[in-house]
Amino acid sequence: MSKLDINKIRSDFPIFADKSLIYLDSAATTHKPKQVINAISNFYSNYYANVHRGIYELGMKATEAYQSARQNIANFINASDWRSIVFTGGTTESINLVAYSWARKNLKTGDEILITEMEHHSNIVPWQLAAEETGVLLKYIPINTDGTLDLSNIDKLITSKTKLVSIIHQSNVFGTINPIKKIINHAKKVNAITFIDAAQSIPHSHVDVQDLDCDFLAFSGHKMLGPTSIGVLYGKTELLDSMMPFMSGGDMINSVTMTESTWNDIPYKFEAGTPKIAQAIGFGAAIDYINDIGIDKIHDYEQSLLKVALEKLKSIDELEIYGHQTGENGAVISFNLEGVHPHDLAQFLDQDGIAVRAGHHCAQPIMNKLEVSATIRASFYLYNTEEEIDKLCASLRKTQSFFN
Ligand code: 7TS
């Protein structure tokens, strides 16, 4: 087992004071260490004020903390310019921002958007709506039933008609880590814009936007120890500069007259209204927490948990694991137990204090491919332990014997 000071880590999370909780749903959202909770509480208690407005000390302190969170996040993904970091409500909003402000303005009938059958609904529906309004064709890279992308026809799928390629980095169902660099390089050959949905990868691995050279990338704070309702749209500055605002109102303008307005510089142009100040500060503290441990160490630890979990789950008869047959995978395992409906199974596990997600995981095209209506999903993070995997397996076996 790769080493993390797991007792120290668990003691940082107030929720785990409840020793009976086995939380295996971090792909949905993660718990928060006290460092994040305290950073938010400290802001509200000691220097709360609006940002970009008050020429008074509190306002300046709040603005400084907000800006420093942005810089922190830029460093975390190796963005060369903090102006590339737009704060949004989360991955979903980041994708919608681009669907409205870029796709609807730049695409026309005859153009094509390419996504995959592996996407979370939030990287499908915004493009469906944009495609419908613009007359653009939405195409899909198919998936194999082993949970990988079928890239055999990538040259036929990415053509001179392809204007946008938007791909999930790590599957929230299978854990599959997709070869996004390879796909980005294909897209570049035809000058298509590239968008990476990194909601499931950035919390668990080192992602470098300069190395990927993607045009856009999105992720959510709540999936990486931060608060809800904050996320990031990373965009290349020249692209963000060229785009029209998504939402409009205060803070995003340069000047307003009765007849027209001009826009603030990026990223503020895309952050209308009082920003998500407390959330950004909390998100910055989450990044600090991850940095203090080290994202590579977290990744290695999760990989060793994944290996153990796969081994132990595979030893349970009539348990089918989806994916995880080849390549690189994150610590997310979807499975079903023969003869037990996933929702029933989740309820049984819950009685043993085990929180897993049951359902379609907002990825119905994957469920259709697998010909199942739902799966159970266990997902792991830095605070999970091998002992919890044992308890999961014991509870699964117990449920199995109940149904047989
Ligand atoms: N993209 C991926 C790959 C996701 O896994 C999710 C959320 C989103 C986008 C949307 O993120 P949000 O923060 O805007 O909601 N995934 C899940 C999940 O797998 N279970 O609950 C939420």
Sign, CA torsion 92/97/100/103: negative
What's the pLDDT tens digit per position in 72-98?
A: 999 999 999 999 999 999 999 999 999
Query: Which pTM value belongs to this model?
Result: 0.98
Strand ranges of the sheet holding 357-359, from the earlier edge strand across to the other edge: 319-322, 332-337, 375-379, 357-359
User: In the chain, pLDDT over 90 holds for what percent of residues?
Assistant: 97
How far apart, in Å, are the Cα atoms of 220 and each of 65, 89, 291, 375? 19, 8, 17, 23
User: If residue 393 lies in a helix (H) or strand (E), which one and from where to where?
Assistant: helix 386-403
Q: 54: pLDDT confidence band, cut at 50, 70 and 90?
A: confident
In sequence order, what are the beta bridge partners of 334? 322, 377
* Cis peptide leading into residue 267 (ω within 30°): yes
What's the pLDDT tens digit per position in 122-150?
A: 999 999 999 999 999 999 999 999 999 99
| CA 204 centroid distance within chain | 10
pLDDT value at 16 more than 90 = yes
In sequence order, what are the beta bridge partners of 140? 115
Question: Is 166's C-beta closer than 6 angstroms to any atom of ligand 1?
Answer: no
Count CB atoms within 10 A of the CB of residue 354.
Answer: 22
pLDDT at 287: 98
pLDDT value at 38 more than 80 = yes
Q: 391: pLDDT confidence band, cut at 50, 70 and 90?
A: very high
Domains and CATH numbers, the chain: 6-31+294-403 (3.90.1150.10), 37-291 (3.40.640.10)
Q: In this structure, are strands 137-141 and 357-359 parallel, antiparallel, or unpaired?
A: unpaired
Residue 7, phi then psi, degrees to nearest 5:
-65, -40
User: What is the residue type of 99?
Assistant: A
Count CB atoms within 10 A of the CB of residue 214.
Answer: 27
Cα distance between residue 101 and residue 334, in whole Å: 35
Q: Which residue has the least CA distance to atom 5 on ligand 1?
A: 172
Which atom from ligand 1 is nearest to the alpha carbon of 119? 3
* 362 noted as active-site residue: yes
Cα distance between residue 300 and residue 306, in whole Å: 10
Residue 125, phi then psi, degrees to nearest 5:
-60, -45
Q: In this structure, are strands 261-263 and 319-322 parallel, antiparallel, or unpaired?
A: unpaired
Q: Which residue out of 26, 172, 322 has the highest number of ligand 1 atoms within 8 Å of its CB and is therefore the one to mutate?
A: 172
Q: 1: pLDDT confidence band, cut at 50, 70 and 90?
A: low
Q: Which residue has the least CA distance to atom 11 on ligand 1?
A: 91
User: What is the residue type of 12?
Assistant: D
Which tokens belong to 163?
């204007």
User: What is the residue type of 328?
Assistant: E
What's the pLDDT tens digit per position in 91-131?
A: 999 999 999 999 999 999 999 999 999 999 999 999 999 99
Q: 261: pLDDT confidence band, cut at 50, 70 and 90?
A: very high
Residue pair 219/211 in contact (Cβ under 8 Å)? The answer is no
Q: Which residue out of 124, 174, 356, 362 has the highest number of ligand 1 atoms within 8 Å of its CB and is therefore the one to mutate?
A: 362
